[in-house]
Amino acid sequence: MISDKLKNAILKELKLDDFKIEDETKANQIPGWDSLNHINVITAIEKDYGLRFKAIEVLKCKNIGDLQKLVDSKQNK
Amino acid sequence: MLHYIDLTKVWTLLEFDKYNPLGFSSSLFLFLFFGLLLLVTVINNNRAKVYILIAFSLYFFYKSSGTALYVLVISAVLNYGIGYLLYGAGRESLKKVYLWGGILANLGALGYYKYTNFFLETMSSFRGGTFEAIDIIMPLGISFFTFKALSYLFDIYYETYTPSKNFGDFFLYMVYFGNIAAGPIDRAPAFIEQIRENRITNEDISRGVFLIMSGLIKKNIIADYIGLNYVDRIFDDPLRYTGVENLIGVYGYALQIYCDFSGYTDMALGISLLLGFKLMENFNYPYKAKSVAEFWRRWHMSLSSWLLEYLFTPMQMGMRRMKMMGNALALLITFTICGLWHGPSWNFVIWGGLHGFFMVFGLITSKPRAALLAKLKLTDTKIAGFLKTIITFHFVAFAWIFFRAKDFKIIEDMYGQIVNFFKPGVFPQFIQSYQMITAMMVIGYLFHFLPEKVSESGYKLVEKSPLLVKSAMLAFMIWFAWQFMAADLQPFIYFQF
């Protein structure tokens, strides 16, 4: 399940009103999330949650579900 | 009957000859390929098919690279071993050691076989001495199989792929003749899964036949014809021609390289479909792109997605504190490397660097450009789309000059003629004296820019036909392409990479 907080962070950065984001959704399926915008979305999420990812952790994510798990694991530390 | 055949001649024909690689449209390849197709169909056993394909692939490689075959075999064995260690390594630090070991081994081999002379020549020109090239046989498609191997290691490192336990499957992935010479740069997960599935549908056969025919038209009819009869002449001596002829030469080369490379890829895809493999898509009407970034999402897609996944994104993530500067720097580095990947020459480096520069320029100006279009009430209009396509095409086409010209003098002369000696009045004369070239270029570009459903309706025609008619169509197209071929078969432009 993608949390509202993560979803809103993504939508706000990409200036989207709404978009259905599920565990299996891939970044490039979300309008505006392209290769150049990628770092802006990642830094926006880091800022919203007040945490910092390692590059390898983000590179391992196959979809938004993996990103959610990453955020959760970082928060629980 | 047999005693009429001169066996020594047959042997010479089959032997290693670096000037006669097994191009997909050569008669020898087609003859051997249909034999292969017959063999795997008759035997009808998946494991046997894997080994037959390996044997055929090794022969295909030997035919153009001779004993350099050992480089490919060692690379396959070594990468399988490193992949195995990488997957089994528990600690992150150990995984990093294996990964870097793998990267260094692969790039070391690529560097030695492809770039040694370039490096020595550059060094000697700095020192002002004389340069004598070392005789190194470059193994066929080393840039392609090195990138295939690296993607395999990266996928294991990122834990997005569990490596196959079967060495034969991995070995076939590495040596497969269908994509070894000039791509697509397929990825292990998708390819190896298909070995296991071993499924060929009627649609695959229709699509395969259609793609081989389309490849023959693009490569053997359009690309070779305009290359040999027009583009080569312009690029050999631009000063002998007016600016308008030089400009048509630039447009001609843009069409030639597209038809050559995508025609080759169509044949690779088609041949592979007949054997039960769906290779990666490599081209999607690239000149329809509305930006240089979009061009790279449509041109040589298996390479651009490789660079995006394994080079650009990791670099961009590492430099994300620099925000837009990080993006810009990652783009410039990625595309300069992309240029160098294409060949050991400064022309390629500059060509790649130019593409990086275009994209950085696009990135920096994206907001003001969007604001300007909004002010002119042109946002998302057809006219804006059309203009973007035209402008993008010209950026790409003019950068191709660096890719094609043999030295900087030629580049300077071409730009000089176009700017200072344009002579538009020559255009009607050009059409009159080069009717065939004009026709080929119009047809080539028309097919490129027409809606995709036009090409799809051609496919439907093949699909609806019974197998016998399909075979007849293919045989006719092979015959037709051979009629068209110039005295010498033009090598695929991408073979040299």
| Cβ neighbours of A55 in B, within 8 Å | 314, 317-318
What pLDDT sits at residue A69? Answer: 95
The owner of tokens 């565990």 is: A23
- Supply the DSSP string of B314-370, one letter for each residue: HHHHHTGGGTHHHHHHHHHHHHHHHHHHH-SSHHHHHHHHHHHHHHHHHHHTHHHHH
| Nearest-CB residue to A55 (from B312, B317, B363) | B317
Total length of chain B: 497
Structure tokens at A64: 């938004």
What pLDDT sits at residue B302? Answer: 98
What pLDDT sits at residue B2? Answer: 55
Q: Helix (H, G, I), strand (E, B), or coil: what is residue B276? A: coil
Q: What is the pLDDT of residues B109-125, one digit of tens each?
A: 999 999 999 999 988 88
Residue B177 has pLDDT above 70, yes or no: yes
Name the region of B13 (left: φ>0; alpha: ψ -120 to 50; beta: rest): alpha
- Whether the CB-CB separation of B334 and B357 falls below 8 Å is answered with no
Residue B434 to chain A, least CA–CA distance (Å): 44
| Nearest-CB residue to B318 (from A36, A43, A55) | A55
What pLDDT sits at residue B494? Answer: 53
Asked if A43's CB is within 8 angstroms of B313's CB, the reply is no
Q: How far apart are CA B78 and CA A52, in angstroms?
A: 36
Q: Is B314 on the interface with A (CB under 8 A)?
A: yes
Asked if B159's CB is within 8 angstroms of A35's CB, the reply is no
CA distances from A46 to A10, A49, A59, A64, B316 (A): 11, 5, 15, 14, 15
Residues 363..382 of B with a Cβ closer than 8 Å to A: which?
Answer: 363
What pLDDT sits at residue B128? Answer: 79
| Cβ neighbours of B99 in A, within 8 Å | none
Q: How far apart are CA A16 and CA B358, in angstroms?
A: 28
| Nearest-CB residue to B320 (from A43, A56, A62) | A43
| Cβ neighbours of B159 in A, within 8 Å | 60
Residue B490 has pLDDT above 60, yes or no: no
Where are the domains positioned within chain B? Answer: 15-198, 203-279+365-496
Q: How far apart are CA B395 and CA B391, in angstroms?
A: 6
Residue B5 has pLDDT above 80, yes or no: no
- pLDDT band of residue B143 (cuts 50, 70, 90) is very high
Asked if B159's CB is within 8 angstroms of A60's CB, the reply is yes
Q: What is the pLDDT of residues A8-34, one digit of tens each?
A: 999 999 999 999 999 999 998 999 998
Asked if B293's CB is within 8 angstroms of A36's CB, the reply is yes
- Whether the CB-CB separation of B276 and B198 falls below 8 Å is answered with yes
Asked if A60's CB is within 8 angstroms of B160's CB, the reply is yes
Asked if A39's CB is within 8 angstroms of B323's CB, the reply is yes
Residue B282: φ, ψ to 5°: -120, -25
- Whether the CB-CB separation of B494 and B261 falls below 8 Å is answered with yes
Q: Is A69 on the interface with B (CB under 8 A)?
A: no
The half-sphere exposure of B405 on its side-chain side, counting CA atoms within 13 A, is 25
Name the region of B488 (left: φ>0; alpha: ψ -120 to 50; beta: rest): beta
The half-sphere exposure of B112 on its side-chain side, counting CA atoms within 13 A, is 9
Residue A20 to chain B, least CA–CA distance (Å): 24
Residue of A41, A56, A66 best to disrupt the B interface, most CBs of B under 10 A: A56
Q: Is A62 on the interface with B (CB under 8 A)?
A: yes
Q: Is B88 on the interface with A (CB under 8 A)?
A: no
Q: Is A28 on the interface with B (CB under 8 A)?
A: no
Residue A23 to chain B, least CA–CA distance (Å): 16
The half-sphere exposure of B262 on its side-chain side, counting CA atoms within 13 A, is 23
Average pLDDT, chain B: 92
Asked if B316's CB is within 8 angstroms of A38's CB, the reply is yes
| Nearest-CB residue to B160 (from A56, A58, A62) | A62
Where are the domains positioned within chain A? Answer: 4-20+27-75
What pLDDT sits at residue B26? Answer: 87
CA distances from B48 to B29, B40, B121, B144, B380 (A): 21, 8, 47, 26, 54
Q: Is B316 on the interface with A (CB under 8 A)?
A: yes
Q: Helix (H, G, I), strand (E, B), or coil: what is residue B280? A: coil
* ipTM for this model: 0.90
Q: How far apart are CA A28 and CA A47, in angstroms?
A: 21
Asked if A42's CB is within 8 angstroms of B293's CB, the reply is no
The owner of tokens 């002829």 is: B245
Q: What is the pLDDT of residues B379-404, one digit of tens each?
A: 889 999 999 999 999 999 999 999 99
Asked if A55's CB is within 8 angstroms of B314's CB, the reply is yes
Q: How far apart are CA B234 and CA B248, in angstroms?
A: 9
- Whether the CB-CB separation of A71 and A45 falls below 8 Å is answered with yes
Asked if A43's CB is within 8 angstroms of B327's CB, the reply is no
Q: What is the pLDDT of residues B249-285, one digit of tens each?
A: 999 999 999 999 999 999 999 999 999 999 999 999 9
Residue B320 to chain A, least CA–CA distance (Å): 6
Over range B292-298, report the average pLDDT: 96
Tally of CB atoms within 10 A around B35? 10
What pLDDT sits at residue B335? Answer: 98
| Cβ neighbours of A69 in B, within 8 Å | none
Q: How far apart are CA B106 and CA B331, in angstroms?
A: 23
- Whether the CB-CB separation of B179 and B279 falls below 8 Å is answered with yes
Over range B358-370, report the average pLDDT: 94
Residue B157 to chain A, least CA–CA distance (Å): 9
Residue B195 has pLDDT above 60, yes or no: yes
Structure tokens at A70: 């990453």
| Closest C-alpha to B82, from B96, B66, B64, B67 | B96
What pLDDT sits at residue B1? Answer: 52
Q: What is the pLDDT of residues B211-234, one digit of tens each?
A: 999 999 999 999 998 998 899 999
Q: Is B313 on the interface with A (CB under 8 A)?
A: yes
Q: Is A15 on the interface with B (CB under 8 A)?
A: no
- pLDDT band of residue B237 (cuts 50, 70, 90) is very high
| Closest C-alpha to B119, from B293, B454, B345 | B345
Over range B183-193, report the average pLDDT: 95
Angle in degrees, CA B155, B159, B165, rounded to 5 = 75
Q: What is the pLDDT of residues B409-422, one digit of tens each?
A: 999 999 999 999 99
